[in-house]
Amino acid sequence: MKRTTTRLADGRELIYYDRGDGAARDAVDRRPLPPVDPAASLSEVRHNPLLGEPVGYAAHRQSRTYHPPADQCPLCPTRGDRLSEIPADSYEVAVFENRFPSFGGEAGRCEVVCFTSAHDASFAQLGEEQAALVLHAWTDRTAELSRRPGVEQVYCFENRGAEIGVTLAHPHGQIYGYPFVTPFTRRALDSVAAHRDATGRNLYDELLASERADGRRVVLETAHWTAFVPHAARWPYEVHLYPRRRVPDLPALDEAARDDFPAVYLELLRRFDRIFGPQAPPTPYISGWHQAPFSLGSRAREDFALHLELFTIRRSPGKLKYLAGSESGMGAFVSDVLPEAAADRLREVASSA
């Protein structure tokens, strides 16, 4: 695989990822953009003392691109006089600094990952080689950002669908280099540490072993990966995907797990699109990698388990799961779908052999 790094007209970094070594990535960004003003895109992080949580503020994002027509998509390749964020006339996978970052400067970093140059595609429609290239980009960016001052944790994720709040239809995801350990991760780390202190065992290992032994919520299993609906799932359809060998982050995955991942992940995404029947519109979802923060001690990093969480806010055809009073006001989830029923459905819609 080949990686080529260049700069956009305003100085932001752009990285191309190609499967072969022959691609020439020397196209110049011809847009008349002024240099990025670091002061104009500074984010602020405040601390909530009651909840012990950080909250980010990014007022400059109010002017970000919002539902442009397809012929003005900023993530499509540049063709003729139609200039975009990608100056090349074609690409395989491209990653660039977000023009409207939630975190930036000395307080983190935000990047956009374009999974393909095909505007009307989806991740589920990619081939296995292309999905492997995306995994390579996620892994490379995680390793790179781990060395960047001010980045505590990396989250590679995809928001898919207008129902989720996506404002650009082109198939893409994002990478957040948080300047703090996220609240969900902090709570998980506390639970894992308490379990280690009480039992001497790893909580992630026990949860995975328990789901595999029970079997009712396992939806897909290979020699290197297990996908299951968790016993206490929050969302109507929620799947957690774990490598069978516990590792803290994407760079630590072995080659066997990397080789196995594309087929597993593509199958999960295709099942999600079939949950609500052949006439239903594409299923909106959020999918993201949970990785160990970089500032942890060696024991805590070893205890963390890399995993991917995939979920949808759609609970039935034409109906969404809204985060209303209990969920939004108190963080107390009430789900409409039993995890066992969700797992049954995800097994029913498996691809035919």
Active-site residues: which are they?
Answer: 172
Give ∠ CA 141-246-310 in degrees, rounded to 5.
65
Task: Report how far residue 43's alpha carbon sits from residue 266's, in angstroms, rounded to the nearest whole number.
Answer: 35
Beta bridge partners of 228: 218, 240
Identify the three-state secondary structure at position 253: coil
Q: What is the longest distance spanned by two Cα atoms in the chain? A: 64
CB 272 within 8 A of CB 283: yes
Buried (b) or exposed (e) across 29-47, using 16+ Cβ within 10 A?
beeeeeebeeeebbbeeee
Task: Report how far residue 6's alpha carbon sits from residue 14's, in angstroms, rounded to the nearest whole number.
Answer: 5
Q: How far is CA 151 from the centre of its chain?
A: 17
Q: What does 40-71 look like in DSSP terms, one character per residue?
A: GG--EEEEETTTTEEEEE-GGGGGS--S--GG
Q: In which residue are the tokens 């970000």 written?
A: 64
Task: Report how far residue 215's alpha carbon sits from residue 350's, in angstroms, rounded to the nearest whole number.
Answer: 16
- Name residues whose C-beta falls within 8 Å of residue 285's C-beta, 6 or more positions apart in sequence: 158, 160, 161, 164, 269, 272, 310, 311, 312
